[in-house]
A and B are shown apart, each in its own frame.
Chain A
């Protein structure tokens, strides 16, 4: 089975707004942003693609800078994973022809993840833990009975 990139839900929620990916981690109260290539990569991760697929799309879009692409992608994904915004897990990949947000035209600019902690106090008291569709704080299903 392939390794695919997944948003670390439910604590992490991200969305591309006006071309900028804004990503929030309610577990820490920190939030992040990325524009340009980074926003496109986030849109693709949110859709459920693999690192290999991302690499292929970057290569097609920026053939002249192919030498820089792999390192930049790995660094960006590593940073997303280091902040626990994204996890890489075995699974089925989404079937997409291109990132939901198109990669920018022109020369390749390495993606940058900006991080912010100034809203920590604001997000701190909001429902964050183990949420599911039943809503917080009715959050944790009882453990299954022992076999």
Chain B
């Protein structure tokens, strides 16, 4: 089976040595395999770069000082050349056939800009019982929009602009809100394509300043809708 178009996968990574290998294996087992896999190491202090070395020849490693997941995704997109871009966080995994089913829909509909699948969440199996008991893992499948469950045409990414690098937690919500304002055509598949790992180092919704990011992103979306600002505010980080 061959790819209908060039597809690059961007994997932002920060101190994820425990899970990065599993994430990369889940990408490389896809049939057909993506054109290129790019890990953007966001200034990890652990052995994440060494994990990438194990995949030398199959995975390209980019490195940057620690600037956040949004900046890492932006660097990966800027350094990639595929017609289609996909993302996978370094602690998550794709399901079997994840890429092919999304590409199938994208290829069949030239007007479609991006295809999403469903996400299910799981508690990382290696964690001690005492930690597992404290974790909250929402049950069931979710149609929530996250980068790891999406494939998107490069032309759409360029229209939307990059992830806002000033945001540390809400950059994904902001990006999808801008995508909607830009009139991006999404399709949602009724199939799980992403398994999202719950562990003891997930990004935390943990302090008031970060929670405030979400509110500001929603305010910006409201203002765009009411014409108080430009229709979308693509940033030029790509």
Q: Which residues of A contact B (CB under 8 A)?
A: 10, 13-15, 17-18, 20, 22-24, 26, 31, 33, 116, 118-119, 121-142
- Given A119-B177, A119-B221, A137-B198, residue A131 in contact with residue B205 (CB < 8 A): yes
Question: A135 to B204, Cβ gap below 8 A?
Answer: yes
Pairs across A and B, CB under 8 Å, 24 listed: A15-B212, A15-B215, A17-B216, A18-B219, A31-B218, A33-B222, A121-B176, A123-B214, A124-B142, A124-B144, A125-B119, A125-B146, A127-B204, A128-B205, A129-B136, A130-B136, A133-B207, A134-B204, A135-B206, A136-B204, A136-B205, A138-B131, A139-B135, A141-B134
Report the separation of the CA atoms of residues A128 and B172 in the bound assembly, to the nearest whole angstrom: 15
Select from chain A the residue with minimum beta-carbon distance to B188: A121
Once A139-B134, A142-B133 are accepted as A-B contacts, the answer to whether A122 and B204 lie under 8 Å apart by CB is no
What string of 1s and 0s marks CB contacts (under 8 Å) between B207-225 and chain A? 1100110111011011000
Residue from A121, A128, A135 in contact with B145 in the complex, judged by beta carbons closer than 8 Å: A121
B219 touches A138 (CB 8 A): no
Structural contact, A122 and B142, CB atoms closer than 8 A:
no
Of the listed residues A15, A20, A33, the one surrounded by the most CB atoms of chain B closer than 10 A to its CB is A15
Q: Is residue B173 contacting chain A, with contact meaning CB distance below 8 A?
A: yes
Given contacts A22-B218, A127-B205, 16 further A-B contacts (CB under 8 A): A13-B214, A22-B222, A24-B215, A119-B173, A122-B145, A122-B172, A122-B176, A123-B173, A125-B144, A125-B146, A129-B138, A131-B206, A135-B206, A138-B204, A139-B135, A140-B134
Per the bound structure, the CA–CA distance linking A146 and B203 in Å amounts to: 33
Give the distance to chain A from B91, nearest Cβ to Cβ, in Å.
12
Give the docked Cα–Cα distance between A139 and B204 (Å): 10
The residue of chain A having its C-beta at the shortest distance from the C-beta of B205 within the complex is A127
For the complex formed, measure the closest distance between the CB of B190 and the CB atoms of chain A, giving whole angstroms: 14
Cα–Cα distance between A33 and B207 once the two chains are bound (Å): 22
The CB with the most chain B CB atoms within 10 A, among A23, A123, A124, A138, is that of A138
Tell whether B184 is near chain A: CB-to-CB under 8 Å. Answer: no
Cβ of B196 under 8 Å from chain A:
yes
A35 smallest CB distance to B (angstroms): 11
Q: CB of B202 within 8 A of chain A?
A: yes
Which one, A31, A130, A137, contacts B202 given CB within 8 A? Answer: A137
| Inter-chain contact A133/B206, CB cutoff 8 Å | yes
**Among B131, B138, B172, B204, which residue has the most Cβ atoms of chain A within 10 A?**
B204
Can you name the residue of chain A whose Cβ is closest to the Cβ of B169?
Answer: A126
Known: A119-B221, A126-B173, A139-B136. A14 touches B215 (CB 8 A): yes
CB distance from A139 to the nearest CB of B (A): 5
